[in-house]
Structure formats: structure tokens, C-alpha cells
């Protein structure tokens, strides 16, 4: 059984099923927002909108959300990027975003406006949020 699970995981990773990138504080500062130098407002470093998925390995709704976000990443390839932040390893980032309930999902548009939801969401619900908070907001500006 363990061999089958390991083989499945290798296939899933090689096929890109786990498209979200897990990042730590240093990577967050480099790729998303240097909150240590720009404390008053989010100054997004990414050229595309960002989704932050605050999760924990022990969180069942977080595990249910992962494939939904993977599908979303594929649907919006090149139009947004999804980063995963493990709250158990990155407590400072979780505190900065007040991610106390899991999962917490932040949608950050190019202007740095952040909107968040807590709890599991289906792919269709996530698509609606992306279209409302990231894609439509981008066109309106």
C-alpha cells in the first residue's frame, strides 16, 4: 500500500497535479510582498494577481481544497499564481494575515487590494471569486 501511495504521489507531482507552490517567509518577501519594508500597504511583486492559501497538514478542509486550487491554477494559467503557506511552519505570516481559521484564502489583485474567505470552497465558487476580485477588478481599473 505504501508503495502504491508513493508511486501515486510521484505521478501526481510529475503530471503537475500539485501546481501550487508552498513558500516560506523569505520566499514570500521575495515573490509576493516585502511586508518588512512596506508595512502600510500591500505592494505586490508579482506581475499577475496572487492567491494565498493558508493551510495546515492536519486540516481536512485544507486537504479537500488543494485539488480545487490545482484545477483553478490550470484554468487561469498565466493569469494568476497560487502560493500555499503552512501556518504551522510560518506562524508570523499567518499572524500578519490573521489566518486563524483554516483554510483561509486571500485574493490579492495587482493594486494590492486583498479580499479573503475562510473555509472550504468548490472550484466553481473559487472561479466566481477570481472573476469578481481579480479578473473583473483588473478590467475595471
Catalytic residue, candidates 50, 52, 59, 129: 59
Whether 15 is a known active-site residue: answer no
- Residue 58 DSSP class: T
The sign one gets for the Cα dihedral 68, 70, 75, 76 is: positive
Whether 62 is a known active-site residue: answer yes
Catalytic residue, candidates 32, 62, 65, 72: 62
Question: By CB neighbour count within 10 A (0-12 exposed, 13-18 middle, 19+ buried), where does 18 fall?
Answer: middle
Q: Which amino acids are annotated catalytic?
A: 59, 62
Amino acid at each position: 500500500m505504501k508503495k502504491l501511495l508513493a508511486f501515486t504521489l510521484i505521478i501526481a507531482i510529475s503530471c503537475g497535479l500539485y501546481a501550487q507552490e508552498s513558500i516560506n517567509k523569505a520566499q514570500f518577501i521575495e515573490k509576493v510582498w516585502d511586508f518588512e519594508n512596506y508595512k502600510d500597504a500591500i505592494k505586490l511583486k508579482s506581475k499577475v494577481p496572487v492567491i494565498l492559501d493558508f493551510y495546515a497538514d492536519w486540516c481536512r478542509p485544507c486537504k479537500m481544497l488543494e485539488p480545487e486550487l490545482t484545477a483553478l491554477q490550470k484554468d487561469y494559467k498565466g493569469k494568476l499564481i497560487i502560493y500555499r503557506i503552512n501556518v504551522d511552519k510560518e506562524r508570523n505570516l499567518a499572524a500578519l494575515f490573521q489566518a486563524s481559521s483554516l483554510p483561509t484564502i486571500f485574493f490579492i489583485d495587482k493594486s494590492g487590494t486583498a479580499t479573503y474567505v475562510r473555509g472550504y470552497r468548490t472550484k466553481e465558487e473559487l472561479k466566481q471569486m477570481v472573476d469578481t476580485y481579480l479578473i473583473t477588478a483588473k478590467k475595471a481599473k
